[in-house]
A and B are shown apart, each in its own frame.
Chain A
Amino acid sequence: MLKRVHFGTSILPYLLVAPQIIVTLVFFMWPAGQALYQSLLIEDAFGLSTEFVWFENFEVLFQDKLYFDTFRRTAFFSVTVAGIAMGAALMLAAMADRIVKGALTYRTMLIWPYAVAPVIAGALWVFMFDPTLGIFVYFLNMIGIDWNHKLNGDQAMSLVVMASAWKQIAYNFLFFIAAMQSIPKSLIEAAGIDGAGPVKRFFTIIFPLITPTTFFLLVVNVVYAFFDTFGIIHAVTQGGPAKATEILVYKVFNDGFVGLDLGGSAAPSVVLMVIVIGLTVIQFRYIEKKVEYA
């Protein structure tokens, strides 16, 4: 961690870390501490007095059926988004891995949705599925499907899932293709000589060998679906209709900033923090194994 050859103690290193530490303290530690503290308080309806209640907010929260529904919805949403985004990316990467000529062109054409902001991705999909004007709705109507994501909760959910997965394919593709190209060609060739076809080679050699990448991407995708999709949901459905697309992070935003229920939204944000910390620890344990520390 520390260089064998290094500088001695002086005031300088403190000055060097100061900007980072100050920003961290003021905008991260202090707010997180506040949220933690508030989650243990109950404020009266007028915000005049507060009472310290230990974990009562959490007990109330975990007995709340609505919160439980949000939890289940979030789980469903993230697993579906991760599944679609990773599945599509894996298939595309497997195809691109085969191609010698033009692979770079394909990569170029596939990666740029990464650069699109979530809220803009949401706007594009909302436009394509606009109940009266949308181009897809026109086609859906032709085959007899009635589409209105503003009224139908399931359709709203599929719309945010599609928009979220669409944006994440690029990221997954890049990591999958990098992992596949790092597999020694001799392994694949040996299997080919032994008579394994492309499909068999994929499932018995390539897929098992890229498991670490798959696992890493799973965590990243779940984190993405948990938090970064806020913009998409905000643009497409605002959590509606009837909370059909309200995931945890959206609920915290809605209760806290729109509903201005400070104490009530603190407990759910602490739960969210615990989830992120858990996911990050898993992710870093994986990176820890991969990275060689000097």
Chain B
Amino acid sequence: MIENRPIITFIAHATLILGIAIVAFPIWITFVASTHDAVRMTQVPLPLWPGDQFFANLYTTFTVGAGGGNTVPVGMMMFNSLIVALMIAVGKITISLLSAFAIVYFKFPFRMGFFWMIFLTLMLPVEVRILPPFKVVADLGMLNSYWGLSIPLIASATATFMFRQVFLTVPDEMLEAARVDGAGPMRFFWDILLPLSRTNIAALFVILFIYGWNQYLWPLLITTDSSMFTVVMSIKQMLESAEQAPEWHLIMMTSLLAMLPPIVVVLSMQKMFVQGLTETDK
């Protein structure tokens, strides 16, 4: 700070607190709604202060599910989400590490062709090509499976691009030394490159876990079996059932549970999260 002007500092703090209040308000309302019972949630105006039904609602949604018995226990859907998010994050990181390694450290025909092919995937978000990949997954018999939920999403240009940048900063002497000591390519990859890119892998993992957990359209398209539903995609069905009989306390409890894991990840690994976000540049 250049000059000491208490008024401006005060304005800065006030603006930030106001900003936080606006940003946090929807979450507060969600939390409040999840702590009341069904009766209170139909009376206008809705409460702004928490009630005492939090654990009762938590128990109901987690084990029975929201939305009149035809939905799935949220606990099970959260388990599905966790598996899918982990498969996507680990899968993306693994195949990107391997292909970046090949592209940076090997000279082979079509090397640049492969690089551009991977790069092109970045340009095509899932939402753009909704039907054709659906048909491919259906033909491969991967509907309603963890494989179908994760494999189509694990190709990643951004991750490959990022690891490529990381590997390019590794000094050439490393490889020369490894060679003198008689290490083969995979030994070099495993014992030198992987440890060197540890922090990048962790940062990327945080971003990709959130990406995987928050997938919506893809699981919506390829799962029809309720035992494969993910928690994020279930919100929509609950909203639809809310048209007839609003069970906002359960819907909001489910929303709360659905956003909890990614928020915990962001807050507890904030440094890595920020690094991952700025490094991959999305």
Contacts and interface: CB of A to CB of B under 8 A. Distances in A.
Given A7-B185, A91-B15, A133-B46, A120 B132 contact: no
A115 B265 contact: yes
B176 A9 contact: no
Contacts of A113: 23, 27
Contacts of B270: 107-108, 111
A19 interface: yes
Contact of B123 (A1, A19, A100, A276): A276
B3 interface: yes
Contact of B1 (A2, A98, A106, A115): A98
Interface stretch (A46-54, A74-82, A151-159, A168-176): A168-176
Contacts of B107: 2, 6-9
Interface string A1-35: 11111111110111011011101111111111011
Contacts of A19: 94-95, 98-99
B2 A189 contact: yes
Interface residues on A, range: 35 or more
A5 B252 CA distance: 57
Classify the secondary structure of A's interface with B.
helix
A124 B29 contact: yes
Nearest to B186: A12
B118 A20 contact: yes
A256 B9 contact: no
A119 B232 contact: yes
A206 interface: no
Nearest to A189: B2
Interface in A102-138: 106-121, 123-128, 130, 132-135, 138
Interface in B257-279: 258-259, 262-263, 265-267, 270, 273-274, 277-278
A266 to B, nearest CB: 8
Contact of B262 (A92, A115, A231, A253): A115
Contacts of B229: none
Contacts of B15: 91-92, 95
B96 A20 contact: yes
B42 interface: yes
A169 B8 contact: no
B39 interface: no
Contacts of A211: none
Contacts of B45: 135, 138
Contact of B101 (A16, A24, A109): A16
Interface string A215-232: 010001000000110110
Contacts of A115: 210, 214, 259, 262-263, 265-266
A88 B94 CA distance: 37
B136 A26 contact: yes
Contacts of A23: 95, 151-152, 154-155
Contacts of A249: 127-128
B181 to A, nearest CB: 14
A294 interface: yes
What 3 pairs between A and B have smallest CB-CB spacing?
Answer: A31-B132, A192-B2, A115-B262
